[in-house]
Structure 1
Amino acid sequence: MTDDHTSGPVPDEITLGRIETEVALLMRFGEATRRASGSAEHRVLDRAAYVILRHLDVAGPQNVSALAAKLNLDGSTVTRQVSAMQRDGLIARTPDPADGRGTVVSPTPAGLQRMAAVRTARTRLYGDILAAWSTDDRDTLAELLHRFNQALESRPRPR
């Protein structure tokens, strides 16, 4: 898109293009950094298990449908992940008190311990990466990432 007075892109389009590029790079470098880390703590959980455990730790036990909706994933995908996590002893299923036919999943102590190890390793890694940044810059980055994630989460989903 161009503006009526110039033949080039409008400034907002340039900025949005930069954001798109930086987010793409963030995802790529984040995953590459995790894989290349020499720390075993980064590898005690796969990314999906870590995200599920982090959510259950904050939100409490949930049925798979609620978990899938919160994580914006297909129910069958979450069911497969939850089954694998249950086999690994990371989560437990119990009868759903609101619906006796269903179950809810919750983290086990082992699951929480592994999640905490990954979180600690990641926090240490980001501390190293951002060591030269001022406290104000770190706070600004944290706030902007939080706002960005909230905007992504609240975005209407196609049905």
Structure 2
Amino acid sequence: MTDDHSQETGHDEVTLGRIETEVALLMRLGEATRRGTGTMEHRLLDRAAYVILRYLDTAGPQNVSALAARLSLDGSTVTRQVSAMQRDGLITRTPDPADGRGTVVSATPAGLQRMAAVRAARTRLYGDILAAWSPDDRDTLAELLHRLNEALDVRNRRR
């Protein structure tokens, strides 16, 4: 092993350690920011309902097992969340034509409206937080976060 290779490996480990720390902080501070934001719009939906509605908005109606797989969640967890969302009028469930035992979940107009309000509030919040950043830096952050999320998604799907 050459000294250059050892230095490269050591640098990679330091960099990966920094990434791990920054992601851990991002998750903690993101949650603290969500909880600490005083506007009602941010609290219209819990995190799980928001993610489910965002996915239904882009993908259209889904059966519970497909929803669980796409969101890397246990089917029983999604079933409980969907039941609560149905009680709140955020989604509807209809029999799955492909599988009579299952159901297809669809967002309601009220669910989509609430999701859009939360999304707009979050967009304004990040606009405020990143106001001093250049447009290029914001674009770079968006692209790198997208790549990170894609890599995490691929890893979760392999399980």
| Bin for the TM-score computed over the shorter chain | over 0.9
Specify whether residues 156 and 82 from structure 1 end up closer, same or farther in structure 2 by C-alpha distance, changes over 3 A only. closer
Mapped to 1, the partners of 2:63 and 2:138 lie a distance apart of 36
State the Cα distance separating 1:155 from its structure 2 match: 1.1
TM-fit CA distance, 1:14: 0.3
User: What runs of 5+ residues in structure 2 fail to find an aligned partner?
Assistant: none
Task: Quote the sequence identity (%).
Answer: 81
Q: Distance in 1 between matches of 2:157 and 2:13?
A: 23
Compute the displacement of 1:4 (Å).
6.6
- Alignment partners' CA distance in 1, 2:157 and 2:67: 16
Q: Which residue of 2 aligns with 1:16?
A: 16
How far apart, in 1, do the equivalents of 2:52 and 2:127 lie? 24
Partner of 1:95: 95
**Structure 2 Cα separation of the partners of residues 68 and 50 of structure 1:** 14
State the aligned residue count. Answer: 157
Aligned counterparts of 1:4 and 1:33: Cα–Cα separation in 2: 46
Root-mean-square deviation (Å): 1.8
1:41 is aligned to 41
Q: Does 1:152 align with 2:152?
A: yes
TM-score (norm 2): 0.93
Q: Which protein is richer in helix relative to its size?
A: 2
**What is the alpha-carbon distance in structure 2 between the residues aligned to residue 136 and residue 84 of structure 1?**
41
The residue aligned with 1:138 is: 138
Deviations 1:18-73 (A, max 9, x none): 00000000000101001111111000000000000000110111111010000001
